[in-house]
Amino acid sequence: MNNDQETDLKTREIAQEAKLDMDMESMVPPLWGRTTTWMALAFLAIAVVFMTYVFF
C-alpha cells in the first residue's frame, strides 16, 4: 500500500470510530485523486519552464 492509501485507510478508521459515518460500508474519499496529481505535476512543469525562461 502506498502512503495515500494508508492515509485514506486511517481517515476511514477514525471516522468510523468517531461515528462520523452513518454506514460502516461508507468510504472516505481519497485525499489525492489521479486528476489532482496530474494537475499538480502539470503546474509544476509549467512553473519550471517559466522560471527557466525568465532566468536563462
What is the model's pLDDT at position 22? Answer: 63
Whether the CB-CB separation of 30 and 7 falls below 8 Å is answered with no
Could you list the residue range(s) of the whole structural domain that residue 46 is in?
A: 3-55
For the chain, what is the domain count? 1
What is the model's pLDDT at position 11? Answer: 83
Segment 4-53, tens digit of pLDDT = 888 888 887 887 777 666 665 666 666 778 888 899 999 999 999 999 99
What is the model's pLDDT at position 32? Answer: 73
Q: Which of 22, 35, 26 has the alpha carbon at shortest distance from 11?
A: 26
What is the model's pLDDT at position 23? Answer: 62
Give me Rg for the CA atoms of the chain.
18
